[in-house]
Amino acid sequence: MKNNQIIAVWGNPSSGKTTGAIRIAKEISLKKKNVILVFCDIFSPMIMTLLPSVKGEEKSLGSILSAPEINQETILSKCITLDKNKYISLLGYTQGENIFTYAEYSKERAVDFLILLRHLADYVVIDCSSVFAYDILSAVSLEMADSVVRFCSSNLKAVSYFNSYLPLLADRKFNLDKHIKVLSNMKVNEPVEQIKELYKGISYELPFVEELENKFLSRELFNDLNSKDSQEYKEAIRRLASFLMGETSEKISREKAPIVRKAKMNEEKISLFKKVIAYGKGGAK
C-alpha cells in the first residue's frame, strides 16, 4: 500500500472534480489513513460552501502561501478538521477572498508547500483549479503529483475545454499519458459512447447522482451516500481509491470491473490530525 502520496484531481468546470476529490479523500480515510484535502480555487473559495459553521478567517490557504516562511507547524495551524472524521483535514481559501487578498507567491513556495504536505499525511488530495494556467499551486500540483485524476464531463463543451487546456500540459514533466481519466457526471441524454471515443482511454465512469447534488446544495458532501441510485458511483470511487492506494495493480474500466472488497485493517491507527487541536481547531460536523 502506497503512503505519502500526492493525488491531484483536475477537470473541466462542472465536471464534479471537487465532489470527486472529497469522495476519494473520504474513501482513503476509511482505511485509517490521514488525508489532507487541499482546495486550490481562489476564484470560488470552497470552504464556506462545504462547512458553513467554520469561521475560517484565520485558517486560509492564502495565509500559508504568502507567509515569509512556512513549516509543518504553520500548515497544521491552518488545517480545518471534521468532527466526524479525524483522518481528514482541509486547507483552502475562505469566503470573501480573491486573487488580490494575498501577496503573490512563487513556484518555489508552492513546491516547498507540497513537500511539507507530503511529510504531514499519508495522502494529500489536491482539488486543482480548472484554470490552472492562472493558479501556480494547481500547475505545480499537476507536475509534482504521484497520480493525476482527470475528471471529464460527457459533453462537447468539456471536449472543447480539454482541446484548449491539454496543450498547456504537453511538456513531459506533466506525464499526460499517466493521467487517470474519469468520465463523470454522466447523464442519460448525453452521447456518452461518442464522447468516450474522443477522450480515448476512460478508466472509470461516474454517473450523475441526484443525492450528491442535493448534498452539495445542503452543504453535506462529506456525509454518507445512502440512496440506491448512488451505489454505482460509490463502487467506482471505491475502486479508484483502491488503485490510487496501490491495492489494485491496474486501472479497470467500469464494464470489466470486479468488485473490490474493503481490506481488513490489522491495527488501529491514531489520527495524525489530532495534532491540529494544539494549534487551534476549526471544526465542523
We report the CATH number of the domain holding residue 84 as 3.40.50.300
Is 139 buried (19+), middle (13-18) or exposed (0-12) by CB count in 10 A? Answer: buried
166, three cell numbers: 491539454
In a domain, 285, yes or no: no
Q: What is the DSSP letter of 84?
A: T
Report the number of distinct structural domains present in the chain.
Answer: 1
pLDDT at res. 251: 52
Q: How far apart are CA 34 and CA 212, in angstroms?
A: 24
pLDDT at res. 100: 94
In a domain, 217, yes or no: yes
Percent of the chain with pLDDT over 90: 74
In a domain, 266, yes or no: yes
Q: How far apart are CA 121 and CA 112, in angstroms?
A: 15
pLDDT at res. 57: 56
DSSP string, 126-144: EE--TTGGG-HHHHHHHHH
Cα–Cα distances in angstroms (integers) from residue 13 to residues 118, 120, 188, 190, 244, in the given order: 27, 30, 20, 17, 23
The amino acid at residue 38 is: V
Per-residue model confidence as pLDDT tens digits over 226-253 = 998 999 999 999 999 999 999 876 554 4
In a domain, 276, yes or no: no
In a domain, 21, yes or no: yes
Q: 3 falls in which pLDDT band (50, 70, 90)?
A: confident
In a domain, 281, yes or no: no
The amino acid at residue 243 is: F
Q: What is the DSSP letter of 30?
A: T
In a domain, 279, yes or no: no
In a domain, 260, yes or no: yes
* Domain membership of residue 61 as a residue range: 5-270
Is 206 buried (19+), middle (13-18) or exposed (0-12) by CB count in 10 A? Answer: buried
Residue 38 bridge partners (DSSP): 91, 126
